[in-house]
Structure 1
C-alpha cells in the first residue's frame, strides 16, 4: 500500500516542507502556497488551544466552500480536537438537532450563517465568525506569517479526527467517529486504486467540502499529492466548465448530478476539457449510460467508487490502471475485506454471484456512532461494518450495488432519510398522515415524493412553504401528492412498496 501518514496534519506538514512554494489552494482570485496554508492552520490551531479546545474536544465547522473552510478543518485537527463538519445550509432546527448530540464547545462559521448560529449557539466556549464584516475575521490572515508553518502542531494517530454526521433511520442524524489512523489509512487505500502524481494534479472541488466524499477525494487527496485544490464556492455548469479550462484541471470530483448537468448545459460541446485526465464519481450510483456519454464526449476516464461515511469513506473503486467495469463500483481497497452475507441475520457468507448485504472490515472503519451505543452495536458486529447496502461480487472480485436495505434516498449526493421529512410534515397542524419515498431521477440520482393525507384547505404550496422553513433544500420533496388515504399492509402499516410501484408506473 502507498505510504500511510500518521495523521492528515503530518501530511500537510510534509507538503509544506517539501513543496513550500507550490500552490496549494485556489479560490477565485485568492491563491495560497503550502507554506502559507500550513501557517494559517498553525495560527488557528494555536488560538483554539488557547481557548481550551484541544485534545478531547469537538469543534463544529459550519461553512460553505472557501479557502477558510479548508484551513478550519485542518486547524481543528492540528489543535488535537475533533472536527465536526456540518452543512452550512442547515436551518436552526437541523443544526440544533446535531449539536445536542455532538457536545461541541466551539464553532467556526460563515458570517452569512450568523442568524442561524445565534439561535442555537449558547454553551459554546468559542464562537469564531468568518467574514469581512464587524466582529468577523478571515482564517487566511496568517498567510503573511509563513514562519508559523515551522511550528505546526501534530496530533496523535490514536486521537479522534472527524465526527461526521449522517442520516439515521429514525430521522435523527448519527455522528460517525473516525480516528486519525483510520482517515490516513483510507487516503492511502484510495491512492492505491486511484493514484495521483506528486506535484502535478490540479483538483477541482465542486461539491461542498463538509461532505465526506469531498474531504476524502478533494481536500485530503490534494495535500497527499502535494498538488493544487481549486475550490468553487458553488456549483454552476458555466463556472465549472470555465474553471476546468482556466485552471487546467486534471482531476474532477463528480457525481451523477454533476455529470448530467454539465452535459445538458448548452456550452458543454464547446468547452475546453483537454486538461482532464480523470474524473471520480461517488456519493450516488452512476448510471452506465451517463458514464458512457461522458467518456465518449470528453475522452476522460471516470472511476466510479463506493463508500460510506462509516468506512472512512472509501470501500472500493474501479482502478485507474486496471480493468474498469461499467456497472460496478470496482474492487475493494487494499487491506479491506468485503463479504456478501444473508440479509436476515448477517451470519451466513454467500457464494460468489449471489445477492445479499455488504459487510466490510478494514483499518478505515469508524469507532462507532458518538453517544449511540445501540446503533453502534447494530452496525459493528464482530469487527465487521454492516453497510445496509445490497450487492454482489463477481468472479474477479468486482462489487456491484444492487439496492439499499435501508430506506435512505440519495438526493444529489446527500443522504436523506424519508422519516425526517415525514416528521417535519407531521408538525403541520393540518397533516394527518404522511409517507415519503425516494424515486429514481436521471439528474439528481433520486428525488423525494411525499404522499399526504391532510385536512381541507391544506394545499401543496402550503406544505412546500412549511417544509422550506424547516429543512435544507435537498430534503424538500419534488412532488407532494394530496391523497384521501395511504395504502396499508395486512398488519396496518403504510405500504411503501405500493407507493414505489405507483411511482414507477407514473
Structure 2
C-alpha cells in the first residue's frame, strides 16, 4: 500500500499529493489530450474556483452527463474540490430515465457534453443551470485566467458523491457517499491490489459508473500513475492501447475480457506489459479466467462490492491465495457475515448460503430522500446487501444469487421492474414480466414475456416501444408472447418458472 489505511481524507487530497510529489509525471491521457499531474491539478483547481465564484459549494450537487474523456476526469475532481457533491449520470439514458433522477438530485449545475443539449433540456427541471463542455464549448483541460490557488480540501465527513443505482422497484436510488468513505475504500482495495507510480492504468468502462471510478480514476490518482482513458470501447482499440501504451493495470468486466479473447487481433497483440487485471461488475466464469491467464500470463483478481459499499468489500489478493469462483476476502477494516434471509440476525456457518451483510468505514451515509429504505438497508451498523453468498473453508466469499430482483448484463445493473413498467404502458399489453437468464457472453441476458390484451403483439412493435424509452443495454434480447403468465398460489407472477422457460430456446420444446 502506498499510504497507510485512511491516510487521505478525500480523493482530492490524493490528487494534490500526487501533484506535489511528481508534478511532471504523466497523469492523464485520452486521445490527443495529455496532462501532467501539475497540469491536471491546475485544471481541477480552475474548475473548482469557477464553481465557487458561481456560488456553488458545500451542500450543492453538480451533475455530470458525460462520456469517457479527460473532461469527465477533471470535472469529477473539480466538483469535489469546490466542496460540492458530484452526481455522475449515464449519457445513454433516455429522457424518461434521466428526468426522475435529475428531479431527485436537485442540481445546482448540470455539466454535460456538447451534443446532449436536447436531452439535458428535456430531462432537467426548468431553470437548471448547464455548463456545456467539448468541441465548440468549454474545454476543462484548458484552464483560463490566473494560475489557480492550491486545491481546497473538502471536509472528510461531508458528502462526496451522489451515485444513482437501481432499486428493487426499478426506480433509481441516490446513494450518498462521504469523502472519508470513498478515500478509505481506495486504501482498502490498495491493501489487496497494491499499485505504484509506474502504473499505467487503462479505463475502459464508463466513468459515470462507480466501478470505473474506483478502479481507474481514483486508483491512478492514489498511486500517482498514468490513467489512459478509452473514449468508446472496441476490442481492437483496447488491444491496440494495451500494446501501444504498455498498460500494466487493466480494469474490465467479464464481457470485455470475453470480447478481447474473441477478437482476431488478440493472438497477435503484445500483452506482456500487463501486471494485473481486475474484473468487476458481474461474475467472471472460471473458463474465461483460465483462458485469459493461460494466454497472457497475467492474473485476473476478482472482487465484490456495490455502490452502497463505496464500492469495494472483498478482493482476491494479488500476492496471496486466489481462488477461482470466489470474490476473495474482506478488505481491511471490513467485516462480512452470512446471515439467515428471514431475519438477517442469525450468522450462518461456513458453507451455508444466506444474505451477505457487511460492516466497515466505507459504507454509504444513506439513500437520498429515502429514509425508510435507508433504515431497511443500514441496520445496527450493518449494510444488508441483498445478495446471497457463502464463505468457503478459507474465508473466501462465494456469490450464489441475488435476493434482489436484479439482472447484471454486460456489466450493467438492470432492474426488470423498470422494463416491465415500460411494457405495461404500451397499448395492447395485458401483462408482462422480465427475467434474466445465464448468457456466456453478457453474464446474463434479459428475456421479456408479454401477454397481449387481444392476442400476440408484433415483436417489432414491442422493440420499437422499448427503444424509445430505455437505454440500449436494457433492451431484452429475447421477447416472447404468451397467452398468460404463470402465477404462484398467491397470485404473483412465478418468475422462477419463467426463468426455466427462458433458458430453453423457443425452437426447442420446453
Which category of TM-score, normalised to the shorter sequence, fits these structures? over 0.9
Deviations 1:158-202 (A, max 9, x none): 1100000000111100001000000001000000000002x2000
Structure 2 SS opposite 1:64: coil
Look up the match of 1:161: 160
User: 1:7-406 counterparts in 2 under 5 A?
Assistant: 7-124=10-127, 126-133=129-136, 136-142=137-143, 147-148=147-148, 150-197=149-196, 199-406=197-404
Aligned residue pair count: 501
TM-fit CA distance, 1:52: 1.6
Structure 2 SS opposite 1:137: coil
Contact 2:76/2:86 (<8 A) preserved: yes
Structure 2 SS opposite 1:391: strand
**Mapped partners of 2:367, 2:261: distance in 1:** 39
Look up the match of 1:446: 444
Seen in structure 2, the aligned counterparts of structure 1 residues 146 and 503 have a Cα distance that, compared at 3 Å, is farther
**Mapped partners of 2:296, 2:115: distance in 1:** 37
Contact 2:456/2:482 (<8 A) preserved: no
Contact 1:39/1:146 (<8 A) preserved: no
Structure 2 SS opposite 1:21: coil
**Mapped partners of 1:485, 1:401: distance in 2:** 33
Contact 2:175/2:366 (<8 A) preserved: yes
Query: Please, which moves more after superposition, 93-102 or 70-79?
Result: 93-102
Seen in structure 2, the aligned counterparts of structure 1 residues 300 and 138 have a Cα distance that, compared at 3 Å, is same
**Mapped partners of 2:459, 2:248: distance in 1:** 45
Contact 2:336/2:358 (<8 A) preserved: yes
Contact 1:93/1:470 (<8 A) preserved: yes
**Mapped partners of 2:338, 2:222: distance in 1:** 32
Q: Does 2:479 correspond to 1:476? A: no
TM-fit CA distance, 1:411: 1.1
Contact 2:103/2:124 (<8 A) preserved: no
**Mapped partners of 2:412, 2:53: distance in 1:** 35
Structure 2 SS opposite 1:350: coil
Deviations 1:19-72 (A, max 9, x none): 111111101121011111111111111111112210000110110000000001
**Mapped partners of 2:123, 2:94: distance in 1:** 10
Structure 1 SS opposite 2:116: helix
Deviations 1:136-155 (A, max 9, x none): 2111111x77942x422211
Q: TM-score, normalised by structure 1?
A: 0.97
Deviations 1:254-296 (A, max 9, x none): 1110011111111111111111011000000011111001000
Query: Please, which moves more after superposition, 183-192 or 486-495?
Result: 486-495
**Mapped partners of 1:254, 1:10: distance in 2:** 26
Contact 1:358/1:389 (<8 A) preserved: yes
Seen in structure 2, the aligned counterparts of structure 1 residues 146 and 223 have a Cα distance that, compared at 3 Å, is farther
Contact 1:27/1:66 (<8 A) preserved: yes
Look up the match of 1:486: 485
Seen in structure 2, the aligned counterparts of structure 1 residues 229 and 380 have a Cα distance that, compared at 3 Å, is same
**Mapped partners of 1:504, 1:207: distance in 2:** 28
**Mapped partners of 2:23, 2:494: distance in 1:** 59
**Mapped partners of 1:20, 1:476: distance in 2:** 45
Seen in structure 2, the aligned counterparts of structure 1 residues 252 and 37 have a Cα distance that, compared at 3 Å, is same
**Mapped partners of 2:281, 2:140: distance in 1:** 29
Segments of 4+ moved more than 6 angstroms: none
**Mapped partners of 1:397, 1:312: distance in 2:** 22
Deviations 1:222-265 (A, max 9, x none): 00010100001111000000000001100001111001111111
**Mapped partners of 1:251, 1:457: distance in 2:** 50
TM-fit CA distance, 1:397: 1.1
TM-fit CA distance, 1:124: 4.7
Structure 2 SS opposite 1:346: coil
TM-fit CA distance, 1:120: 2.5
Look up the match of 1:419: 417
Contact 2:455/2:483 (<8 A) preserved: no
Structure 2 SS opposite 1:141: coil
Contact 2:424/2:431 (<8 A) preserved: yes
Structure 1 SS opposite 2:503: helix
Q: TM-score, normalised by structure 2?
A: 0.96
User: Unaligned 5+ residue runs, structure 2?
Assistant: 506-510
TM-fit CA distance, 1:504: 2.7
